[in-house]
Amino acid sequence: MEAEVIDQASNVAVVKLKGRKFPGILIQGDSLFGLRDLAKELLDEIKKRDGTKSEAYCTAKELFEGLDNRLKYYEKTLKKNSIEPPY
């Protein structure tokens, strides 16, 4: 698999995969873990305050699930390649 690093900063990089029209963003695993945890805290707080029927809860749930699914894929890939997660 080929990728072109277009730009990078300390914990993030803009990367374009071969065959893709648009570049993506690479987030370090520990940063993804932290973002997922923040989304979970938000989801839990909205659930406590508004219940599970509110639009805010549905939006926060979608955010959490998107981050959680990416983190699970990250962890599965690390495990498959015998790499310990950074958290």
Question: Alpha carbon 32 to chain centroid distance?
Answer: 5
**86 in any annotated domain:** no
Q: What angle do CA 17, 4, 78 make, to 5 degrees?
A: 65
Residue 85, domain member (yes or no):
no
Neighbours of 18 (CB within 10 A): 8
Q: Which domain holds residue 54?
A: 3-80
Enter the tokens of residue 28.
């370090």
- Find the DSSP H helices in the chain: 29-50, 55-80
Q: In this structure, is residue 42 part of a structural domain?
A: yes
Is the residue at 28 inside a domain?
yes
* Cα(77)–Cα(22) distance, integer angstroms: 23
User: In what helix (H) or strand (E) does residue 22 lie, and over which residues does it extend?
Assistant: none
Per-residue pLDDT of the chain (87 residues; tens, 9 = 90+): 899 999 999 889 999 999 999 999 999 999 999 999 999 999 999 999 999 999 999 999 999 999 999 999 999 999 999 999 999
| pTM tops 0.85 | yes
Domain count, the chain: 1
